[in-house]
Structures are given as C-alpha cells and as structure tokens.
A and B are shown apart, each in its own frame.
Chain A
Amino acid sequence: MSARTPVLEGGCQCGKVRYAFYAEPTSADVCHCRMCQRAMGNLFMATVGGVALDDFAWTSGAPARFQSSSVAERFFCRDCGTPLAFRYLAWPTISVTTGSLDQPEKGRPRKQYGAESRLPWLDEALQTPRVRTEDDPPPGGMAAIRSFQAGPKSDG
C-alpha cells in the first residue's frame, strides 16, 4: 500500500488521524437521513467514496469508531471530533466525509439520499446573505487568530 500513490487524502482538524484513497472514488453524495444529520450535527452528511477497503488506508493515527446501527459504522477523531468516514458493514467499501478531504472541492456530490428528512428550508438557507470572514472577524480580529488546525495545507 505504501508504494502506491494516493488519489485523494484527508484527515481531521487536529491532524492526528489521516487517510488516503489509492483508487478513484466511485461515488460522491449527500445524505439527508435523520441518522446522518444527527451524527454529523449538520443539515446533511456529504461523503466521497464507495472505494474498496483494499484501496483505502488510515495513514496516520487510528480513528475512533461508533456503530450507529446494525448495518453501519462511523469513524471520527477521538481528539478533535472531526467526523471522518462511514461504511456499511456488509460492503467491502468505505466513504470519507467530504469536508475532511484536503481538497473538498474535488468531492462534488452527484446524488442525494435520505430525501425523506431533507430539511424543508435547505435551498433557502443557501440563498441567505453572505459575509466574508474578514468582514465580520472573530473576537480580536483576523490578525490575532492562531489556528491549531493541522494539515498539509495551512488553509486546509
């Protein structure tokens, strides 16, 4: 595995857990189901993958695992909490969370699951007024921010 070149890489916010895909993802989607919403603490889950376990590796650290149902398990960083991956136990594949990719822009979703609990105002939420971080900076201002986020890219 180590001799292969990663196609996509990612990891958690603190950088303790890192992963790599050694094959192109076969899927990229969002899931609106209530379990994914709750697990992500978010409006939906976005994942990239459907990659065979043989073409995936945790390249640094080890994630914590939570079996959220009889059919699925979820992985996250025990130190910073970043949700990292999801897989169905019956399938020899895994998907990672789009936002944990070093280049999330490469994981454009192509399909939506869990349509039964899709939040009714989701489209409107993305049409609300937009503010740049520097135009409404955190307390102390932009210059004072010292990020403890890890990753191969300083902004990622």
Chain B
Amino acid sequence: MAEARGAGERAPVLTGGCQCGAVRYALYATPDKVDICHCRMCQRAMGNLFMAEADVALDDFAWIGGEPARFESSAQAERYFCGRCGTPLGFRYLEEARLSVTVGSLDQPERAEPTLQYGIESRLPWIDRILATPGATTRETVPGGAVLSYQDPNRG
C-alpha cells in the first residue's frame, strides 16, 4: 500500500473515491495509461461489461481518506474497494510498483479517456451495438419524485 507520500506537499492531478465518501485517493501525476479491460476476471470483479482504469506509479498515488478493503483475485493481482459502500476503486499487479484506479471513481471521469482495450478475447459480442440503443435521462425515469442522494455530497 502506498504511503501518503506527497500528500500535503504535492498538488493532486486527479482525485477520486467511493460513492459514500469513506475512502478517498489522489494521483500526483497524470496517468501513464488509461484503458479498458474486457477480460472475464475484470468483468466479474466489476460486475460490469469491462473495467476502465487509469494507471500511475505507486510513488504518485496515495489513499488520502480511509482505507480500502482488498481482495487478491489471483496470485498476481489485488483489487481495492470500499468495504462500506462497495465501490470498486483500484487494481494492482503485486509485482509492479504501479496501481490503477477505476475511471468511474474519479471525481472527473471525463478527464480519463481510455486509449487502449485489453482482454478482447472475452469482449462482449454486442458491446458496440448497445451504445446505439435508445436513451433517456434520469429525470424522465427515476420513480418516486424527489431523490435524496446519500452519495458523497462533496464530489460529483
């Protein structure tokens, strides 16, 4: 686990955290790589069609609020998540001094556009077509009128 080295001394380039706000992190350098991984392990771990991740050196990363829960998903890799709300937060190869954070947990996910796709052997065959399906805004579809969000109120 990275020490909070750099925190307080260096200005974060990107920050992020989980939905409830219990776990927060900072990147002190621009990600070296942002990618999508379609491999079946990432799909399962994310409960999603793929994982999207932004990769930095551990020296340029710190957990700055709370501590994530950790799951070693193989002999080579561990994954981080919030034990309170469940948000998947990061991934790391144990042999490498690097860590990647999940793009959706960034405060500004739009700043981390993926440029590469891994794990295409299990890329879902219809994934390109789903993005052409009909769309609707949240205001049109959420039941019950007023929504009181319990998402960390300080960040988007």
Contact = CB atoms under 8 A, between A and B. Distances in A.
User: Are A and B subunits of one complex?
Assistant: yes
Interface of A: 12-14, 29-31, 33-35, 37-46, 64, 66-71, 74-84, 88, 90-91, 96-100, 104-105, 108-116, 118-126, 128-134, 136, 138-140, 144-149, 151, 155-156
Given A13-B73, A128-B115, A151-B44, A112 B131 contact: yes
B144 interface: yes
Nearest to A84: B47
Interface in B91-132: 93-96, 102-105, 109-110, 113-131
Interface residues of B, number: 85
Interface string B115-154: 1111111111111111101111111011110111111100
Contacts of B150: 67-70
A122 B131 contact: yes
Contacts of A146: 74-76
Given A34-B156, A35-B149, A105-B124, A98 B48 contact: yes
Given A82-B47, A108-B126, A41 B89 contact: yes
Contacts of B118: 131, 133, 136
7 contacts: A13-B71, A31-B138, A35-B19, A69-B148, A99-B47, A115-B137, A126-B131
B15 interface: no
Contacts of B127: 126
A26 B72 CA distance: 35
B118 to A, nearest CB: 5
B81 interface: yes
A147 B49 contact: no
Contacts, number: 276
A83 B135 CA distance: 23
Given A13-B71, A41-B87, A148-B74, A66 B44 contact: no
Interface in B37-80: 39-41, 43-52, 69, 71-77, 79-80
Contacts of A120: 110
A144 B75 contact: yes
Contacts of A43: 52, 103-104, 109
B44 A70 contact: no
Given A80-B73, A112-B131, A39 B87 contact: yes
A85 B137 CA distance: 21
Contacts of A80: 45, 71, 73, 79, 81
